[in-house]
Amino acid sequence: MIVLVALGIIVGLGVLLFLWFIGIYNGLVRLKNAVKNAWSQIDVQLKRRHDLIPNLIETVKGYMTHERETLENITKARNLAANASGVGEQAKAEGQLNQALSSFFLVVENYPDLKANTNFLSLQEELTSTENKIGFARQAYNDAAMQFNNKIEMFPSNIVAGMFNFRQAEFFEIEDEAERAVPKVSFS
């Protein structure tokens, strides 16, 4: 009788433990999918930007015959970014593309004709918007990644994470050289 009760308790505890285990595992999967979903949001915008750039080059080519180098830089950075894989590499490539684009838009100031071109203006608007969208989606992705990473590292979910080989999500941080650089101030 006593043996039976003890056995029952042990089995009951085992079942409880198993259920708890499943709960943790499912929680981890849910967070992982949230990270994936947030990343796909960014990915859509990145793809859109990569698609816009050839159009941009095509539009400005006629106007900017003397800026071959700037345009080539953009194309190069764009191709690099389009072929990048993995969050970290992508972020680095996008940072370079950002830089190439911002130096391009500085040069545009010297071409009033181009600035009056409606096609160019709508492309510029689309590019600005996708850049903003990437920025806002990045915040959501990084929050999701942070939550997932916390769960992986914290006890007791770290045990389950270790057993099923959940790996930490990378943060998506675009290096912005322009923001880092110290502005030069001269009073002369």
- Binding residues for another protein restricted to 87-106, rule: CB under 8 A: 105
Sole binder of another protein in the list 26, 122, 150, 168 (CB under 8 A): 122
Could you tell me the smallest distance in angstroms from the CB atom of residue 19 to another protein? Answer: 26
Cβ distance to another protein smaller for residue 41 or 79:
41
Instruction: Verify binding: residue 168, another protein, rule CB under 8 A.
Output: no
Residue with Cβ nearer another protein (160 or 169): 169
- Binding of another protein by 158 (CB under 8 A): no
The answer to whether 135 contacts another protein (rule: CB under 8 A) is yes
Footprint (CB under 8 A) of another protein, residues 32-71: 41
Contacts of residue 35, Cβ cutoff 8 Å, sequence gap at least 6: 141, 144, 145, 148, 169
Supply the minimum distance, in Å, between the C-beta of residue 140 and another protein. Answer: 6
Q: How far is CA 181 from CA 4, 100, 109, 175, 184, in A?
A: 74, 15, 22, 11, 9
Question: C-beta of 146: minimal distance to another protein in Å?
Answer: 10
Task: Round to whole Å and give the CA distance between 180 and 174.
Answer: 12
Give the nearer residue to another protein in terms of CB position, either 97 or 144. 144
Tell whether residue 164 is a contact of another protein (CB under 8 A): no
- Judged by CB under 8 A, the residue of 133, 147, 158, 171 near another protein is 133
Binding site for another protein (CB under 8 A): 41, 105, 122, 125-126, 128-129, 132-133, 135-137, 139-140, 143, 179
